[in-house]
Structure 1
Amino acid sequence: MQFIDIHGHYAWNIDDGIPSKDDAYHALSIAKSNNIQAIVATPHIVPGSHNLEDIKTIQLRINELKELASEFQIQVYEGCELFLNHDCIQSIHDNLFIPLENTHYLLVEFDVRKELGDEHEVEDYLYEIEMKGYIPIIAHVERYFKDEIDLDRIRDFIDSGYIIQVNSSSLLGIHGKTVKNNAYRLLNEGLVHVIASDTHRCEGKRIPNLQLTFDTLSKDYSYQTLKTLMFDNPESLLNNKEVVNIEAKKSFFRKLLKRR
């Protein structure tokens, strides 16, 4: 199966992602071996730290990445990962962000180092993006809960029309047991729209690993579910279309009750 990776820091030497062009080349070769046919370059943009000239520099680097990726027949699309902090409302008003390839979708993140904040730090920021005419894609939701994930809050995000993205590295256990459990609870409850790699390196744990993730998940989840999360929905985002929801995974006990 082919994959589309909508979250990755492949563009080199502009954030905490891939540090050099040589490393980007290596990461792209790994992506190719993982059957990734398209990626969205999503460098971090930090409100209060990045200005318009910085945005232009990031876009130029993404264009360089496009040229490099053409050697692997990998299509590169433009985007960013907007950090939602106390300065983000002004940045949103000033258009200091890069949506997914001229669509109405925008990848956003909160501070993974702390618990997800209250509605004034989270829902208000997401609402500002919505009022600007964009639909937030909330990156690696599973990483914002240090104890147990609040599924009702995630359902509220989805009811508001927001997109939920989970990291492949979380599903593989790279960020620890709690994050892994959070990711699988979201998946089992049908509360995920997209799985992406959030690639930061060309070696180690945070590499393009969608094929490994697919192989791991295919033991317990249907081909169609994984195709929806790793190809169909990402493609819909790039085409400015709506995503579809996956079904909640039926437990053994639910299946047993259904048979009765």
Structure 2
Amino acid sequence: MGYVDIHGHYAWDIDDGISTKNEAEQALALAREQGISDIVATPHFTSGFMSSDIKDIALDRINELKELARQFDINVYSGCELMLNENSTEVVEKDLFLPIENTHYVLCEYNVIKPTDSFMEHFDDYLRAIIKKGYIPIVAHIERYFHSVLDIDYVQYLIDLGCVIQVNTTSILDKQSLHHKNAMTLLDRNMVHVIGTDTHRAQGGRIPNMQECYKYLVKYGYPKAYCQLLMDENAHQILLDKPITHPKYKRHLIKKMLHHK
């Protein structure tokens, strides 16, 4: 199985992600070691803080990344991570964003620093502007917006709205964090559709680590078919502009107990 990294900041020197071409090479080499065969480059686009030529600038760099990634037998696809805020409607109307590889899917986020109440009060309104335009929002790293208590009902509301839910490998692997707890709760409830790395670096935290995450989830008790769906199959469906599959799996509790001994 070749993993599809649906969310990563590999395109260098255009946001807070990979900073140089050399670091991009290191990240791609690590991605290859981690079994990643396909990457969606998702540079940050922040509503209200973008010039009209941002798409051209991002696409030029993503095309450079595509050429570089061929050396590592990795396919790169275009996209962005669109920060939604009070300016989102204007951004959508002016088409100042990059859907994933010219599909109807758009990776969207909210400011993770803002309080959870702000996220729950405003985010769905901003998402509706995307949906009204005919696109399907992928909610990036949803586990990071809840700073105390995970609101399962709100996540289900977003799913019912038509959103695809993504969580980060880093959150899953950071076993002592609240983000980890949130991500695992959502996985237990079949409320995650895709897993991505949200790569920002070639070393340290937020690096390409799909294989590491896959092994952890299987050891934790999740069926291999479940992990493959979230780390490969659904992402491929997105790249083909086709509907995703909503998971219906159960974790093997015996494996979990053995893992924690």
Offset at residue 160 of structure 1 (A): 1.4
The alignment covers a number of residue pairs equal to 252
- Structure 2 portions without partners, runs of 5+: 255-261
In structure 2, the partner of 1:51 is 51
Distance (Å, rounded) in 1 between the aligned partners of 2:9 and 2:119 = 28
Q: How does 1:1-260 map to 2 (within 5 A)?
A: 1-116=1-116, 117=118, 121-173=122-174, 177-219=177-219, 220-249=221-250
Offset at residue 250 of structure 1 (A): 5.4
Compared CA separation, residues 171 and 82, structure 1 to 2 (3 A): same
Q: Output the aligned Cα RMSD.
A: 1.5
Query: Are 1:187 and 1:248, in contact at CA under 8 Å, matched by a contact in 2?
Result: no
Distance (Å, rounded) in 2 between the aligned partners of 1:187 and 1:166 = 9
Offset at residue 251 of structure 1 (A): 7.6
Query: Are 1:148 and 1:178, in contact at CA under 8 Å, matched by a contact in 2?
Result: no
Provide, for residues 74-133 of structure 1, a one-character-per-residue CA deviation record: whole Å limited to 9, x for no partner. Answer: 000000000001211111111000000000000000011123326552111111100011
The residue identity in structure 1 corresponding to 2:160 is D
In structure 2, the partner of 1:257 is none
Deviates further, 148-157 or 48-57: 48-57
Offset at residue 39 of structure 1 (A): 0.3
Distance (Å, rounded) in 2 between the aligned partners of 1:251 and 1:67 = 42
Distance (Å, rounded) in 2 between the aligned partners of 1:27 and 1:118 = 31
Distance (Å, rounded) in 2 between the aligned partners of 1:250 and 1:171 = 15
Distance (Å, rounded) in 1 between the aligned partners of 2:208 and 2:253 = 33
- Where 1:121 maps in the other structure, the secondary structure is helix
Distance (Å, rounded) in 1 between the aligned partners of 2:115 and 2:179 = 12
The residue identity in structure 2 corresponding to 1:133 is G
- Structure 1 portions without partners, runs of 5+: 254-260
Distance (Å, rounded) in 1 between the aligned partners of 2:115 and 2:250 = 27
Distance (Å, rounded) in 2 between the aligned partners of 1:249 and 1:166 = 18
- Where 2:122 maps in the other structure, the secondary structure is coil
- Where 2:19 maps in the other structure, the secondary structure is coil
Distance (Å, rounded) in 1 between the aligned partners of 2:120 and 2:146 = 15
Distance (Å, rounded) in 1 between the aligned partners of 2:167 and 2:88 = 22
Deviates further, 44-53 or 164-173: 44-53
Identity %: 44
Query: Are 1:107 and 1:137, in contact at CA under 8 Å, matched by a contact in 2?
Result: yes
Question: TM-score under structure 1 normalisation?
Answer: 0.94
Offset at residue 52 of structure 1 (A): 2.0
Question: TM-score under structure 2 normalisation?
Answer: 0.93
Query: Are 1:101 and 1:238, in contact at CA under 8 Å, matched by a contact in 2?
Result: yes
Query: Are 2:37 and 2:74, in contact at CA under 8 Å, matched by a contact in 1?
Result: yes
Provide, for residues 8-61 of structure 1, a one-character-per-residue CA deviation record: whole Å limited to 9, x for no partner. Answer: 000000000000000000000000000100000000001121122122111100
